[in-house]
A and B are shown apart, each in its own frame.
Chain A
Amino acid sequence: QSALTQPPSASGSPGQSVTISCTGTSSDVGAYNYVSWYQQHPGKAPKLMIYDVSKRPSGVPDRFSASKSGNTASLKVSGLQAEDEADYYCCSYAGSNNLLFGGGTKLTVL
Chain B
Amino acid sequence: QVQLVESGGGVVQPGGSLRLSCAASGFIFSSYGMHWVRQAPGKGLEWVAVIWYDGSNTNSADAVRGRFTISRDNSQNTVYLEMNSLRAEDTAVYYCARPLAWGSGNYYNGIMLWGQGTLVTVSS
B109 beta carbon closer than 8 Å to chain A: yes
Do residues A101 and B111 form an inter-chain contact, with CB atoms below 8 A? no
Q: Are B45 and A38 neighbours in the complex by a CB distance under 8 Å?
A: yes
Interface size, A (range): 20 to 34
Report how far A58 CA is from B115 CA in the complex, Å: 19
Q: Are A48 and B112 in contact, CB atoms less than 8 angstroms apart? A: yes
Q: Which residues of B contact A99 (CB under 8 A)?
A: 35, 47, 50, 108
Provided the pairs A45-B115, A48-B100, A96-B59 are in contact, do residues A101 and B110 lie with their beta carbons within 8 angstroms?
no
Residue in B47, B50, B100, B114 whose CB lies within 8 Å of A51? B100
Looking at the assembled complex, report how far the CB atom of A52 sits from the nearest CB atom of chain B, in whole angstroms: 5
Asked whether A93 lies within 8 Å of B44 as measured between CB atoms, the reply is: no
Q: Are A36 and B111 in contact (CB under 8 A)?
A: yes
**Is B28 in the interface zone, CB < 8 Å from A?**
no
User: Which of B45, B107, B110 makes the CB contact (< 8 A) with A52?
Assistant: B110
Report which of B37, B44, B110 forms a contact with A103, defined as CB distance below 8 A: B44
Residues of B within 8 A of A50 (CB): 110
Question: How distant is the Cα of A5 from the Cα of B74 in the complex, in angstroms?
Answer: 36
**Residue pair A98, B110 in contact (C-beta under 8 Å):** no
Q: Which residues of B contact A3 (CB under 8 A)?
A: 44, 46
Contact partner, B109, options A40, A52, A87, A89, Cβ 8 Å? A52
Interface residues of B in 32-61 (CB under 8 A from A): 35, 37, 44-47, 50, 57, 59, 61
Q: Which 7 A-B pairs have the closest CB atoms?
A: A51-B110, A97-B59, A45-B114, A99-B47, A104-B44, A93-B108, A36-B110
Interface residues of chain B, those whose CB is within 8 Å of chain A, are 35, 37, 44-47, 50, 57, 59, 61-62, 95, 100, 107-112, 114-117
| Pairs A–B under 8 Å by Cβ, sample size 6 | A1-B62, A34-B108, A45-B116, A57-B100, A99-B50, A100-B47
